[in-house]
Structure 1
Amino acid sequence: MTDRIALQLDRRDLLVVAGIPGAGKTTLLSRAATGTLPVLDSDQVRARLRERLPAALPYRFYRPLVHGWHRARVVRAALADGGPLVVHEPSTRATTRGLLALLGLLSRRPVRLLWLDVSPEDARAGQVARGRVIRRHSFARHVNRAEKVRRELRSGWVPAGWHSARMVTREFTGALRFVTDEEPGRVRLLPAERRAA
């Protein structure tokens, strides 16, 4: 059985929950964020648009609007005064990680990466379960980029301009909680490789 895992966020942290589409980022966020911790998930935007658009309109037609709106919300929230912020963003692209590092610099927020590591097969099953399957070639690009990220994370890599990077597997996500604490520098997280007794 896995003990509860606490990831403590400092006052201005920008935590990016990342991983390939279908990995379970939205599910993790719904379980892990506690109290009044602000969470920005593209699924929030999608649900809001879904209420206003024709029910028969496939998601692929308004996906770019969802992503653009989500990223605008992230920038606005990060630049505002306030406490820690948790963001859903696949971050498989190096350019996306670079832009998030720049946002951290401009907003004076330490940017932290929490990578949710799942197999491509499990991620594809997650897409099917949620009813939003991305195109096969787009998914393959995410998977290829993610494999490089996984290898580098295993060797202790932290993206340029980021404060920290951690990787977790699904076996830990049910126990994981994000908590805030005014004591700087206190982050407690079981490493992804550790197996519960």
Structure 2
Amino acid sequence: MGSVVDAVVVPSGVVDLRGEAGAGFVTAYPADAVVVVSGLPGAGKSTLLRRWSGAAVRAVDPRTAHEACEAVMPAALPYAVYRPWARLEHFRLLRASVRGGGPLLVHDCGSRAWMRRWLAREAGRRGRELHLVLLDVGAATALDGQRARGRHASTRVFARHRRGLERLLAAFTRHVRSGGPMPTPEASSVLLLDAVSRSRATTVRFGSAGRAEPGGHRRKPADQGP
């Protein structure tokens, strides 16, 4: 017997799915897109990246560089001492990955406009598009997520990211309600998800996505079984 295929979301401009419950959906991007998944520490970025990444899709997470540096450092040495090295290694890996071919997923806090602009420039030089997925789950949910994973951002770091993301989300909310300039002109699309719609984003697809309906949504017909 056949079954109904999940809806396909083809982000174009700003697609706001916050507050929308329902069935799971596939998110579709161009074959060589660079997709940045952003949100507060504990918002679920790593969970979404694990769900979306696979053998054919590479994901770059700053935690990878952190753990690689940690593995060769004395256990008694605080991370703050070698943080600059870890950050440099992360940027090297990120630059090499953007310059390479194929789709790319990037884990980033999203509060730093200079990082988005740098990624957009690096991607654009190679004819690649930058797309943004922004997780708007609220500070309380993000703090719960930190406790659940057993890793905590410092109060200062969390507050800094929270201020930057709140300004960015406010700009997107104004854009969705009344139009005006795109808050992130460097991004080809922005997908806004909250705790509800985040869980519905079951799969990502890179390549031919078909034609999207207004709002970036498209539903495929049911598969027909034999």
TM band (smaller chain): 0.7 to 0.9
Tell me, yes or no, if the aligned pair for 1:34 and 1:179 is still in contact at 8 Å.
Answer: no
- Report the more deviating stretch, 27-36 or 48-57: 48-57
Alpha-carbon distance in 1 for matches of 2:30, 2:212: 8
1:42 aligns with 2:68: no
CA distance in 1, matches of 2:146, 2:38: 15
Q: Is the 8 A contact 1:10 1:185 kept in 2?
A: no
Q: Distance in 2 between matches of 1:130 and 1:116?
A: 17
Structure 1 vs Structure 2 CA RMSD: 2.5
1:66 aligns with 2:92: no
The reply to whether residue 86 of structure 1 matches residue 105 of structure 2 is: yes
**How much has 1:55 moved relative to structure 2?**
3.3
Aligned residue pairs total 189
| Match in the other structure for 2:184 | 159
Counterpart AA for 1:163 = S
Residue 28 (str. 1) matches residue 48 (str. 2): yes
After superposing the two structures, state which structure 1 stretch, 177-186 or 10-19, moved more. 177-186
Contact residue 168 and residue 183 of structure 2 kept, 8 A: no
In 2, are the aligned partners of 1:115 and 1:165 still within 8 Å (CA)? yes
Residue 37 of structure 1 and its aligned partner are, at CA, apart by: 0.8
Helix, strand or coil at the partner of 1:178: strand
CA change 1:73–1:33 in 2 (3 A) is: same
Q: TM-score scaled by structure 1?
A: 0.83
Unaligned runs of 5+ in 1: 191-197
**Where in structure 2 are there 5+ consecutive unaligned residues?**
1-20, 177-181, 218-226
Could you say which structure has the larger radius of gyration? 2
After superposing on structure 2, the runs of 4+ consecutive aligned residues of structure 1 that deviate more than 6 Å are 187-190
> What aligned pairs does 1:1-197 form with structure 2 within 5 A after superposition?
2-80=22-100, 82-154=101-173, 155-156=175-176, 157-176=182-201, 177-183=203-209
| CA deviation profile, 1:103-122 (whole Å, cap 9, x unmatched) | 22222211000001121122
Q: Is the 8 A contact 1:10 1:184 kept in 2?
A: no
Deviations, residues 116-141 of structure 1 (Å, cap 9, x unaligned):
11211222233333343223222211
Aligned-residue identity in percent: 28
